[in-house]
Amino acid sequence: MKYLIAFFFIVTTAFAQKKFTVIDASTKAPVPYAGINLNNGYGIYAGEDGSVIITDTSVTAITVSSVGYREKRADISSITDVLTLEPQPIELKEVVVSKKKSKKREDVIKAKLHRDNGAMYMSSIGLQYAFLVKSDKKEAYLSKIILPVFKAAFEAEGRPGTFDKVPFRTFVKIEVLENNGGQPGERLFDLGQVAIVDNNNKEEPFGITLTEELPVAENGMFLQITILGRVNPDGSLSNEVGYLTSTDPDGSVRKWPKYCQPNFPLVERPKGVLTFIREPFSNNNSWHAINEPHLHEIKKYPDFNIGFGYTIIAYE
């Protein structure tokens, strides 16, 4: 009897998951890291190979999106082994720079760190950050971004001071947006670089060298960082949903974000330099400034900022 029970459990678990691959309708190639909106305020991302596993059986419909493709809504029951996206070319604004001169120098804007556990902003799966990059040089190229991440990161257990040092590896996606009057705007470059933030790395804070040097627009530009999710032991993207659930005595189900390292130290917001955040899968997915820590309600500054850093190659 126990073998029958075990077999039944395996079968029902297998059917409880929805597995499919997001592909390009024209080329049939996988669409890596497509956004999968579960239409419940949360979402996940496809893997590098376009693979998706949805484990929440309460999800009945999804909305799939990726830069360069038309958004698509689909009922879970109608999805087979693949879900196709129709290409939709996007027109990027041109950033004009003059010819490089021979003399160059590196301008480094340092990341701002501290070790106050009560003044951290906790990341969650799907959360997006955007910070302003600017230069007073006419010929300036962004070559590297610097995240305020410690080698020994902290994992919260529920109250200030109760933190354990734990290793983590997290996928992030880097994109460049235009500066629209001091707020993140439309996509500026065709950059969708994916990197792994690893606190076993020797570098502190954590630097990510861009795959190409990007010209900095005259009025600056925003770097967007998306928390895609944790890294599996085999190096692939975890398919875990970005929330936890609990059932109230009346039977209603509540959801709240599942935190995912890295956490970022909050610092005082410099005048004119802002870090914005947004939750792209929520109903209110607009960019907004950080008004309070994500974990503890400690109002340390009038306004908050995350001290991301970056390296500019300037030509004179």
pLDDT tens figures, 47-77: 999 999 998 888 999 999 998 899 999 999 9
Residue 38 included in any domain: yes
Other residues' Cβ atoms within 10 Å of the Cβ of residue 5: 9
Residue 239 included in any domain: yes
pLDDT digits (tens, 9 = 90+) for 100-148: 556 688 899 999 888 777 778 888 999 999 999 988 887 899 999 999 8
- Classify residue 158 as left (phi > 0), alpha (psi -120 to 50) or beta: left
Residue 96 included in any domain: no
Same-domain pairing of 206 and 137: yes
Same-domain pairing of 122 and 14: no
Same-domain pairing of 123 and 73: no
Distance CA 227, CA 45 (A): 10
Same-domain pairing of 270 and 180: yes
- Residue 15 pLDDT > 50: no
- Residue 5 pLDDT > 60: no
Residue 135 included in any domain: yes
Distance CA 224, CA 92 (A): 16
Residue 97 included in any domain: no
Instruction: Give me the domain span that covers residue 281.
Output: 104-315
pLDDT digits (tens, 9 = 90+) for 173-226: 999 999 999 899 998 888 889 999 987 766 667 899 999 999 998 889 999 999
Query: Could you say which of 53, 85, 117 is where a domain stops?
Result: 85
Contacts for 267 with CB less than 8 Å, ≥ 6 apart: 112, 114, 301, 304, 305, 306, 307
Q: What is the CATH number of the domain that holds 40?
A: 2.60.40.1120
Helix H or strand E segment including 288: strand 288-289
Same-domain pairing of 255 and 181: yes
Same-domain pairing of 272 and 192: yes
Contacts for 287 with CB less than 8 Å, ≥ 6 apart: 130, 183, 184, 276, 277, 278
- Residue 166 pLDDT > 80: no
Residue 60 included in any domain: yes
Q: Which residue has the higher pLDDT, 204 or 149?
A: 149
Q: Which residue has the higher pLDDT, 237 or 201?
A: 237
β-pair partners for 187: 177
Same-domain pairing of 133 and 264: yes
**Model confidence band, residue 90 (pLDDT cutoffs 50, 70, 90):** confident
- Predicted pLDDT at 239: 87
pLDDT digits (tens, 9 = 90+) for 243-272: 888 888 888 888 888 888 888 888 887 765
Residue 247 near residue 253, CB atoms below 8 Å: yes
Domains identified in the chain, total number: 2
- Predicted pLDDT at 61: 96
Residue 224 included in any domain: yes
Same-domain pairing of 63 and 139: no
Same-domain pairing of 232 and 264: yes
Query: Could you say which of 56, 85, 114 is where a domain stops?
Result: 85
- Predicted pLDDT at 273: 58
Residue 45 included in any domain: yes
**Model confidence band, residue 293 (pLDDT cutoffs 50, 70, 90):** low
Same-domain pairing of 216 and 256: yes
Q: Structure pTM?
A: 0.86
- Predicted pLDDT at 263: 85
**Model confidence band, residue 8 (pLDDT cutoffs 50, 70, 90):** very low
- Predicted pLDDT at 244: 83
**Model confidence band, residue 9 (pLDDT cutoffs 50, 70, 90):** very low
Q: Which residue has the higher pLDDT, 11 or 193?
A: 193
Same-domain pairing of 197 and 237: yes
Pick from 72-81, 84-93, 221-230, 294-303: least confident: 294-303
Same-domain pairing of 171 and 208: yes
Q: Kindly tell me the number of DSSP H helices and DSSP E strands found in the chain.
A: 1, 25
